[in-house]
Amino acid sequence: MLATFLIGLREGLEAALVVGILVAYLSRIGRRDVLPRMWAGIALAIALSLGIGAILTFGAYALTFEAQELIGGGLSLIAVAMVTWMIFWMQKAARTMKATLEGGIDRALAHGSLWALVAIGFVSVAREGIETTLLLWSMVQSFGEAPVALFGALLGLLCAAVVGALIARGAVRLDLRRFFAFTGGFLVIVAAGVLAYAIMDLQEAGALPGPFTAAAPLDPVTGAVAVGWAAFPFGWAFDLSALIAPGSPLAVILQATIGFMPQMTWLQVSVWILYIVIVGTFFLRGLRPKRARSTTPSTNTARYPEPAATQGAS
């Protein structure tokens, strides 16, 4: 619940900030009459995200186990790719997000296009919506606790909507730079766990070599799949099921936060470590310029523009 809550809060707040910028700008220029068009695009984006979630949830029932694992692993890889891209996109593009959105509205109003405004609302929310849907679906498949996980995500989205509305009205101020830095680091760890789960799915489907295929090294004494260094690279890296029962609260918490499972393959462990090292290094490197610029008053809040400033100008 904690993991999906933070994901819902992070992704929901990104969408809420975008919507807040759009609404505040249209109010400032006196064009609230076109707000229904933008809201129509946002509603379409939400409907698309829910539709994708429904198809993924109910469509899998008619598939074989191998097909479910193959599709689940593939979609988890897509979710990891989208999350990774969004983490670095926010580091680079947040500085010009406000100007870009306002410029898009200006062009749409200049051409008098109904569909252009609908598209602005749709695109602004669809990206976060689809990303959130894929990530949550992958995590629910991994946790096996759909009601609790989905409740956490819903609670996070509701909190994001409230915080976004308060920021837009100027009723609350949030250090967005620190918020996105913290949640971005958390998402790096979560994405590493989803990646490890995707590898497990693909191994179970037989798409990748592992303990479920003929490539698995066997213990010469027991005849079972080997565990430890003797099992490298296609066996089990470790098996702590006797200490941490799979499905127990501790196992679920560890899997939700750091991607740890009581029994993991060498391929899972390897990709988890590589992802953390590579993506984490680039993420931390991207934080350094912001710390340096925060020492000058002129750039203290420029990294993540707040809708409150626009709202105050109206």
Residue that the structure tokens 């303990």 belong to: 211
Cβ atoms of residues 271 and 199 within 8 Å: yes
Mean pLDDT in the chain?
A: 80
Instruction: Indicate whether 212 pLDDT > 50.
Output: yes
pLDDT score at 123: 83
Q: Tell me, what's the pLDDT at 310?
A: 41
Residue where the block lists tokens 């993420």: 283
> In this predicted structure, which of 21-35, 71-85, 166-180, 182-196 has the lowest mean pLDDT?
166-180
Query: Does the pLDDT value for residue 26 go beyond 90?
Result: no
Instruction: Decide which of 287 and 211 is more confident.
Output: 211
Band the pLDDT of 272: cuts 50, 70, 90.
very high
CA distance 10 to 25: 23
Q: What is the pLDDT of residues 96-128, one digit of tens each?
A: 777 777 788 888 777 766 677 788 888 878 888
Proportion of the chain above pLDDT 70, given as a percent: 83
Q: What is the DSSP string of the chain?
A: -HHHHHHHHHHHHHHHHHHHHHHHHHHHTT-GGGHHHHHHHHHHHHHHHHHHHHHHHHHGGGS-HHHHHHHHHHHHHHHHHHHHHHHHHHHHHGGGHHHHHHHHHHHHHHHT-HHHHHHHHHHHHHHHHHHHHHHHHHHHHHHS-HHHHHHHHHHHHHHHHHHHHHHHTTS----HHHHHHHHHHHHHHHHHHHHHHHHHHHHHTTSS-STTSTT--B-TTT-SBPBSGGGTTTSEEEE-TTTS-TTSHHHHHHHHHH---SEEEHHHHHHHHHHHHHHHHHHHHHHHHHHHHTTSGGGSS-SS--HHHHHHH-
Has residue 227 got a pLDDT over 90? yes
Give 309's pLDDT tier (boundaries 50, 70, 90).
Answer: very low
At 265 the three-state DSSP class reads strand
pLDDT above 90 for 268:
yes
For CA atoms 235, 215, 77, 143, the dihedral sign is negative
The tokens describing 111, both together, are: 């051409």
